[in-house]
Amino acid sequence: MKRTRRSCKRLFCLAAAVLLLAGCGRGARSEPHEKQLFAMDTVMFLTAYGPAGDDALSAAADVINALAADLDPEKAGSSVNALNAAPAGTAVEVSQDCCDILSISAHVREMTDGALDVGLYPVIKAWGFTTGDYRVPSQDELNGLLAAKDTEGIVLDGAGHTVTLPEDMAISLGAVAKGYAAQKAVEAMAGAGAERAILSLGGNVQTLGDTRPDGKPWQVAVTDPNDTGTYLGLLSVGQTAVVTSGGYQRYFEQDGQTYIHILDPATGRPADSGLTSVTVVTENGAVADGLSTALFVLGEEEALDLYARAHSAVAGGFELVLVTEDRRVIVTEGLADCFTEAGEGYTYVYP
């Protein structure tokens, strides 16, 4: 028996993040302008405040839709599709966005000793996570796909906007794409005149402005991975990105076994790290997105070790909320004063 679930990343949580803004005050500068769209296989909620709100929403939607088209590996004419279709060793001209995401992904990959890997696209396809035709590949099949992967061999020429893939390589930028889109969308909203905004792109929340229109911090809920209709905590934040990755977001079940969409680059199989979700808070949405996936793969001990030794390797630093299979919620020190416990049956830890 096979059961499938393809849910939008932290959809309840993201809706809650918007709903918690109710009552922010009245007046033109605090008037909310809202937009909902579907892109990157995700329902997205955008809210901007002030007289330029509608223009800001249009600018954000244009950016998101353009990035969704350019980064889709299955869309003919996209940067990623062109890369995957080119003969081995061919330098392919791609968009600046594609170059930037590859550069960010390479940085996170280096930080996490390969726990984030853009070269997993053939493995992701083998599991059926790109089409919904789920299956469990044999380990021999996965080993063959992993053997053909040579992520370190990717040649990126940022100045010339070209990328060269090694033979038999195919990439996907999905682990970073929504975070990058949120970052660029917020920048577009600011450029259109918005002073405050909140974007919920699946599991990726991005804020514009240090406070809500009423002067209070933005409130972002952290979904309970064991009961996705509720949340286990609230984060009070300023202008930042809050990104969560979890096995509950997309998975399928076969013969009583659950297979999640977050794959371990070392094995090609779903990550089995003892974590059920990872939330990263940092300035840059793309970095937060990549780190949340990589740290989920690494697990609690290595995630906290990376936090301790490489906190400064990310601009502005980063903070974490880790949720473990044994129902512990681990909140790093930079969030201790802005995290409100809200879950039942959890032990909250502040190392």
What is the pLDDT at residue 27? 56
Look up the CATH number of the domain holding residue 351.
3.10.520.10
The DSSP output letter for 166 is: P
Residues in CB range of 299: below 8 A, 6 or more apart: 273, 274, 275
Q: Which domain holds residue 26?
A: 1-351
Q: Is residue 159 packed enough to be buried (19+ CB in 10 Å), middle (13-18) or exposed (0-12)?
A: exposed
Q: Is residue 72 packed enough to be buried (19+ CB in 10 Å), middle (13-18) or exposed (0-12)?
A: buried
Question: Contact 72/81 with Cβ under 8 angstroms?
Answer: yes
What is the pLDDT at residue 203? 85
What is the pLDDT at residue 135? 96
Separation of alpha carbons 72 and 56, rounded Å: 24
> What are the b/e assignments for 324-348, b being 16+ CB within 10 Å?
beebebbbbebbeebbeeebeebee
What is the pLDDT at residue 160? 87
Separation of alpha carbons 128 and 270, rounded Å: 12
The DSSP output letter for 209 is: S
Closest CA to 142 of 159, 162, 122: 122
**Which structure tokens are listed for 13?**
């949580």
Question: Contact 122/171 with Cβ under 8 angstroms?
Answer: no
Question: Contact 280/322 with Cβ under 8 angstroms?
Answer: no
Question: Contact 240/197 with Cβ under 8 angstroms?
Answer: no
Scanning 112-260, the segments in alpha helix (DSSP H) are 121-127, 139-147, 174-191
Mean pLDDT by 10 residues, the chain (351 residues): 35 38 52 95 95 97 98 96 94 97 96 97 96 95 95 92 94 96 98 96 94 96 94 97 93 93 97 97 97 98 95 89 98 97 95 92
C-alpha distance from residue 32 to each of 14, 83, 235, 248, 265 (Å): 16, 40, 21, 31, 42
What is the pLDDT at residue 48? 97
Structural domain count, the chain: 1
